[in-house]
With several copies, the nearest count.
Chain A
Amino acid sequence: MKFHLEFERPIAELESKINELRHLTSGQDVDIVSEIQRLQAKAEKLLSQAYGKLTPWQKVQVARHPERPRFSDLVSRLVEDFTPLAGDRSFGEDRAIMGGFARYRGRSVMIMGHEKGHDTESRLRHNFGMPKPEGYRKARRFMELADHFNLPLISLVDTIGAYPGLDAEERGQAEAIARCLETSLSLKVPYVSVIVGEGGSGGAIAIATSNHVHMLEHAVYSVITPEGCASILWRSAAKAQEAAVAQKLTAQDLLGFKIIDSIITEPLGGAHRDHPLTAAKIDQVLSQSLGELSRLDGPSLQKHRREKFLSMGRTLPMN
């Protein structure tokens, strides 16, 4: 933990105090040991309190936490023999989306997701997880390869959105996303998504049009960023906190609207505090999801996916 969010400060101070005390004692000083235990219990209580009642805006911050597990962190823990593939076969290699063949619990799969990077160099390399058209076209290749070889498809979603640049617009950002949706809805293999961090608009749904969509406890998923929403509807990006509340972008809200299938609980204090445990929790849900879906044949999987999206909103109360 090198980075602390505003509301984590008191906890961070406590933790740094605990660390100091630990350096003071070799374990013999009973007073210090019990003081450490007391402080640790307090820190955990604070964490549990803070993370038990995160505001939507705090969730946005947690979802964007620089130490939140990335695609690369998760893939190394979830699968074996990961073999990343590259390229859209028409313009370029966009590392904002990564993916390839892998072995998941002994079974071959295709796994893909947004990669934001973890330091300046890798963030630039992955364009902060904001795909350009070639990223979506690569994702479509992954989908088609999964379909061709009858492999279950897993997507890990974590993007603030598609890259809003001149070059991306020029090369058909809209078309590339639309085509991803089209391909997603026609696949005849099990397709499971996990919203890991930010589920940002068209940039997210392009690789989240799947049979089961799961969401980490503090992840967010929305049609536009709170800042974007605030600047359009409130005419001020500063109203992002307010917008975040209005948007109903938390996993808990989305489960209520039946947009997602389940919430994956995060380790105490957020996914960024424990990558291995986060991966283990994702693994559990993925495994169950793929198990269920593998009982369906190709046409049923396709039908299931289409009907899932068609039914969205239709069961909500009318007024």
Chain B
Amino acid sequence: MSWLTNLVPPKLRSLVTKVDVPDNLWHRCTDCGQMIFHRELVENQYVCHHCSHHMRMSAQERLRLIFDEGKYTLIPFPKVAADPLKFKDSKKYVDRLKDARAKTHNEDAILVATGTVKGVPLVAGVFNFEFMGGSMGMAVGEGILKAAQTALEKKYPLVLFPSSGGARMQEGILSLMQLPRSVVATTMMKEARLPLINVLCDPTTGGVSASFAMLGDLTISEPAAVIGFAGRRVVEETMKQKLPDDFQTAEYLLEHGMVDIVCHRHQLPETLARILKLLS
């Protein structure tokens, strides 16, 4: 199971594609346990053929799948101070960053790009869960701000795809400050009356859910994505009782009034385009 990352806590562990997997590799569905041929999985947009489980995918893959003909333009955003806390747990933060960069070929946990979706131009900000659990630090904050700024300049809608365990603890208080900072970005979009859609991907938790991710004009979610503020285990310890099976899933949030649409990945580009055409 070399294709399972161990970097993140077990509950966040998921199927992660490597850039260089051979075509004949098999994956096991993290939900139903069935084996799936790598090529088939990619062709099916990382959705299990057997149970429709939506697996996580890299930011690059998502950009390729969302944009028409897989074409998009990456938008660079300012670099940030590296490791201001000189943080170290069992490993130095700088080394974790180095590893994550090597693994993902991304600078940090977000990619910002522009392109068209079924003909509709938009700016997308896509989280990469493979990059330190998609955690939001200063770089992600800059990415979101740059995404909004680009949307404002071009008068495009902004679609954000969070997939994150929350704030990046290794950046301490600076990561907490990304909550208000990312909300400055959503506020600018709203003041310009440009559409802002969040597509919540698995998982959208912690500081990410408590900031920009809940502030879209519309909130779409991928099926079964985990969405919540406190982690399931923390809540379990607090409540000292078993939680409902569907606790913090997209479907649970829909019933609790937090999500507008739970959308199958295959329908996502069409859905986004339909809505954005109505709002333009």
Bound CA–CA A114/B117 (angstroms): 33
Closest CB of chain A to B18's CB: distance in Å?
Answer: 25
Alpha-carbon gap, A233 to B171, bound state (A): 13
User: Smallest Cβ distance from B70 to chain A, in angstroms?
Assistant: 25
Stretch of B58-66, B81-89, B100-108 on the interface side: B81-89
| Nearest CB in chain B to that of A170: its residue | B256
Main secondary structure of the interface of A (DSSP, over half): mixed
In whole Å, how far is A139's beta carbon from the nearest beta carbon of chain B? 13
Q: Which of B180, B234, B255, B271 contacts A185 (CB 8 A)?
A: B180
Given A166-B239, A202-B210, A222-B172, A134 contacting B257 (CB threshold 8 A): yes
Residue of A87, A89, A103, A312 near B174 (CB, 8 A) is: A312
Interface size class of B (residues with CB under 8 A): 35 or more
- Residue A293 at the B interface, CB < 8 A? no
Interface presence of B35 (CB below 8 A): no
A254 touching B173 by the CB < 8 A rule?
A: yes
Measured CB to CB, the nearest residue on chain B to A184 is: B180
> Is A241 an interface residue, CB under 8 A from the partner?
no
A249 touching B172 by the CB < 8 A rule? yes
Stretch at the interface among B36-44, B122-130, B182-190: B182-190
- In angstroms, Cα B191 to Cα A306, docked, is 14
> Is there an interface contact between B172 and A91, defined as CB atoms closer than 8 Å?
no
**Is there a chain A Cβ closer than 8 Å to B116's Cβ?**
no
A229 to B93, CA, bound (A): 14
CA distance A90 to B253 in the complex (A): 10
Binding site for A on B (CB under 8 A): 9, 78-82, 84-85, 87-90, 138, 141, 145, 167, 169-177, 179-181, 183-184, 186-187, 190, 193, 195, 206-207, 209-215, 217-219, 227-231, 234-235, 238-239, 243, 247-248, 254-261, 271, 274-275, 277-279
Q: Return 14 A-B CB contacts under 8 Å, by A number.
A: A83-B275, A85-B218, A85-B260, A87-B254, A88-B257, A164-B231, A166-B239, A173-B229, A174-B229, A174-B258, A178-B179, A181-B179, A209-B180, A313-B138
